[in-house]
Amino acid sequence: MGPDGVIEIDDALSGDAGPTLAHDAREGLGRRQKELSPKHLYDSRGAALFDEICELEEYYPTRTERLILERHAGDIVAATGAAELVELGSGSAAKTRLLLDAMSAAGTLSRYVPVDVTERVVRESAAALSAAYPGLRVHGLIGDFLRHLDRLPEPMGPRLLAFIGGTIGNFRPRERRELLRSIARELGPGGHLLLGTDLVKDRAVLEAAYNDARGVSAQFNRNILLVLNRELGARFDPEAFDYVASFDDEHEWIDMRLRSRTAQDVEVPGIGLVVHLDADEEIRTEISAKFTQERAWGDLRAAGLEPVAWFTDPREWFALTLARESAC
Ligand code: SAH
Ligand code: AVI
């Protein structure tokens, strides 16, 4: 491949001395309210199950955000003059193409930087997008966006940093603001953040999106137990757990849990632990916060970012905010 179409991949996870799955499992399963970090949901199988979720009739966020991008990618690129697109939690990067197309049409497209904790999705999307956009430089970062943003390359012209899909909602308010603050530091001169947020709406619509009739959301959440079995030699039987997802009115988030059907003791040799679960005891696997404009913009402002545009769909089910570093 010539100098124009270079793919570079940086693996921040190899040799990483930071918290491992073992650390997170020991810490999370040792709590009174047992909990596992959702980033461990995305091994190759989890990533494939998430892609399946995106196609489900009940799961409206992906297709709604796509609709907004179809309508507004040109406006976003015009407002930012973006030459490079950095994407956090890029996954299969399907919607990304709408932004890359708009940058290509504006004649500014030079580099794409996918960042994801799942090695396979970074490598596959880097190869696919490099082939689809001749001359595009791709610098993939395999890493944790909570810890490895300092490994991003220096900006190559005005940067658009996309954090789409509603993934910001998988974090609690304090973590969200910390993450946004660290994102703000990586925007570079004249850079912008494009933040995707799922919006508060009718409870039945929200709960259906996380309780699909085919049970893909359940398989996706139970997959975290298979990750523990494979990586830590644990002996979880995923079928011994019910998947429960409901809207928490107080926090305005979907709470996803695995509920033990019976009392059980599960060995996790990799961390030298036997996890005891009472009948009906739950392990929280994810939250998915839903936003109002006030909540999304409040988080951004608290992180030193200034919202400059709000793009939504006709039903106001999902929104994309464009933000830049605050002048003060
Ligand atoms: N942006 C895509 C995918 C969203 S799924 C979309 O809109 O469809 C969430 C993605 O974030 C997954 O690919 C997952 O592997 C990644 N992810 C989750 N936690 C992460 C973390 N801490 N660091 C890096 N990537 C993470
Ligand atoms: C990645 N994230 C935005 C999804 C969500 O909707 O919170 C993860 C998901 N979990 C179950 N279904 C989808």
Kindly give, in sequence order, each residue whose CB lies less than 8 Å from that of residue 20, ignoring residues fewer than 6 positions away: none
pLDDT tens per residue, range 57-107 = 999 999 999 999 999 999 999 999 999 999 999 999 999 999 999 999 999
**Residue recorded with tokens 């980033």:** 39
Residue 20: predicted pLDDT: 85
Residue 4: predicted pLDDT: 56
Nearest ligand to the C-alpha atom of residue 38: 1
Nearest ligand to the C-alpha atom of residue 65: 1
Does the beta carbon of 170 lie inside 6 Å of ligand 2? Answer: yes
Q: How far is CA 183 from CA 194, 251, 293, in A?
A: 11, 24, 19
Q: Is the pLDDT confidence value at 1 over 80?
A: no
pLDDT tens per residue, range 157-177 = 999 999 999 999 999 999 999
Residue 62: predicted pLDDT: 98
- The model's confidence at residue 16, banded by pLDDT at 50, 70 and 90, is confident
Q: Going by CA atoms, what residue is nearest to atom 1 of ligand 2? A: 167
Buried b / exposed e over 177-213, threshold 16 CB at 10 Å, is bebbeebbebbbeebbbbbbbbbbbeeeebebbbbbe
Report how far ligand 1's centroid is from the alpha carbon of 89 (Å).
3
Does the beta carbon of 118 lie inside 6 Å of ligand 1? Answer: yes
Report how far ligand 1's centroid is from the alpha carbon of 121 (Å).
10
Burial of 176 (0-12, 13-18, 19+ CB in 10 A): buried
Does the beta carbon of 91 lie inside 6 Å of ligand 1? Answer: yes
Residue 202: predicted pLDDT: 98
Report how far ligand 2's centroid is from the alpha carbon of 286 (Å).
8
Take residue 46 and report the two structure tokens written for it.
């989890």
Instruction: Name the residue of 117, 120, 256 to mutate for ligand 1: max ligand atoms within 8 A of Cβ.
Output: 117
pLDDT tens per residue, range 235-294 = 999 999 999 999 999 999 999 999 999 999 999 999 999 999 999 999 999 999 999 999
Report whether 201 contacts 238 (CB < 8 A). no
Report how far ligand 2's centroid is from the alpha carbon of 42 (Å).
11
Q: Please provide the average confidence, as pLDDT, over all residues in the chain.
A: 96
pLDDT tens per residue, range 177-190 = 999 999 999 999 99
Does the beta carbon of 118 lie inside 6 Å of ligand 2? Answer: no
Does the beta carbon of 166 lie inside 6 Å of ligand 2? Answer: yes
Residue 328: predicted pLDDT: 65
Residue 292: predicted pLDDT: 98
Does the beta carbon of 50 lie inside 6 Å of ligand 1? Answer: yes
- The model's confidence at residue 5, banded by pLDDT at 50, 70 and 90, is low
Q: Going by CA atoms, what residue is nearest to atom 4 of ligand 2? A: 167
Within 10 Å of residue 87's Cβ, how many Cβ atoms?
26
Residue 2: predicted pLDDT: 40
Per-residue H/E/C for the chain: CCHHHCEEEEECCCCCCCCCHHHHHHHHHCCCCCECCHHHHCCHHHHHHHHHHHHCCCCHHHHHHHHHHHHHHHHHHHHHCCCEEEEECCCCCCCHHHHHHHHHHHCCCCEEEEEECCHHHHHHHHHHHHHHCCCCEEEEEECCCCCCHHHCCCCCCCEEEEECCCHHHHCCHHHHHHHHHHHHCCCCCCCEEEEEEEECCCHHHHHHHCCCCCCHHHHHHHHHHHHHHHHHCCCCCHHHEEEEEEEECCCCEEEEEEEECCCEEEEEHHHCEEEEECCCCEEEEEEEECECHHHHHHHHHHCCEEEEEEEECCCCCEEEEEEEECCC
**Mean pLDDT, to the nearest integer, of 1-21?**
78
pLDDT tens per residue, range 206-246 = 999 999 999 999 999 999 999 999 999 999 999 999 999 99
**Mean pLDDT, to the nearest integer, of 21-39?**
95
Report how far ligand 1's centroid is from the alpha carbon of 88 (Å).
7
With a pLDDT cut of 90, the percent of the chain lying above it is 95
Report whether 109 contacts 100 (CB < 8 A). yes
Higher pLDDT, residue 21 or 318: 318
Within 10 Å of residue 23's Cβ, how many Cβ atoms?
12
